[in-house]
Structure 1
């Protein structure tokens, strides 16, 4: 998979490639993560070269990156799982601590392990293109849905006064804004529950909104 498109960056069209990443991209992928997820995000959760090697080996269809002028400015990683509706595992449990050791080649759910875009290219549309490309992969493989946990980085400001479920409902009603959940909503993802102890993330107080996109062409075998 390799496609070229244009995004608007600082008011100008910029040619961008969306393609599968390879192990030789490891340094650029790790740098993009470092820029995208500064502290207090747990730095031990940033990708390592051995993890990236496993991503490429186990499920290359789910290893995507965005490249501008030879520089990786975003990435997205997915894997396949059997995940029943209402079943909410922690990120570590679902992904094998990011190794994709839990990847199930016949799983009907494409599980989003990670997505990032460097700050310079946020609001350019690259994140939405990565997400759309992963949805295209769901359709191409004939899977049932795309599913993943979205951090709730705005929740810590309201945790003393409301539950995580109430926070998600407030975002859906437009009473609050959350940068991650609002982005996922713009990408067509819809809430499928709230997971506690999902990630060791202070801003989210450990919670995540489980967000899905269902394949309208899916036909159960």
Structure 2
């Protein structure tokens, strides 16, 4: 469904296949050094994601090497707060994937450190949006990690950080690019993810296919 060259033909973005899962596992291991091991995706998780929702799994490759990947599932709009493990069926997605769900929930996006700053995340968001349009999905949902909190955690609480972030008083390395890519703030999810550098929090956001759509 997705398979094209991007960024002056230097990279290829495409749907993931089973042959990619070992390299996807490596990307994951390099991207989340402070995330608890229980919340790190491995090759078996990626293989199951490809099995149950192949259209929603994306990789970026350069000269045959996977340098970035993104994982999603289909769902209905989340009405209640949950943890990352609860939302993802302990990372497997099997029991949360709804084949005719109205939304695409992005649970993971990683870019190898040496390839950051080139716009690969934005390209993956665009590819996922394209899949939403093809499948008739309303748009994307994400829970962005407040990873910038680690630099100011000795000066303020995570509550203060998130409230300031909502007012755009801070630039967060994860949340700010996501908002710049088109994602809209919904609410703060405290105690969502097991990562002290993120203050254990994330920001629930959505990016509708229809720009006039609002919650």
In structure 2, the gaps of 5 or more residues are: none
Contact 1:142-1:218 at 8 Å conserved across structures: no
- Backbone CA RMSD of aligned residues: 2.1
Distance in 2, matches of 1:129 and 1:193, equals: 25
Q: What's the offset of the Cα at 1:89?
A: 1.9
**Which of 121, 136, 140 is equivalent to 2:134?**
140
Q: What's the offset of the Cα at 1:34?
A: 1.5
Q: What's the offset of the Cα at 1:162?
A: 4.0
Q: What's the offset of the Cα at 1:4?
A: 2.6
Q: What's the offset of the Cα at 1:73?
A: 0.5
In structure 1, the gaps of 5 or more residues are: 8-12
**Superposed counterparts of 1:64-143, under 5 Å:** 64-85=58-79, 87-101=80-94, 102-143=96-137
Q: Give the length in aligned residue pairs.
A: 211
**Which position in structure 2 is the counterpart of 1:34?**
29
TM-score, length-scaled by structure 1: 0.87
Distance in 2, matches of 1:161 and 1:4, equals: 44
Q: What's the offset of the Cα at 1:151?
A: 0.6
**Which position in structure 1 is the counterpart of 2:187?**
193
TM-score, length-scaled by structure 2: 0.89
**Which of 7, 11, 14 is equivalent to 1:16?**
11
Contact 1:139-1:217 at 8 Å conserved across structures: no
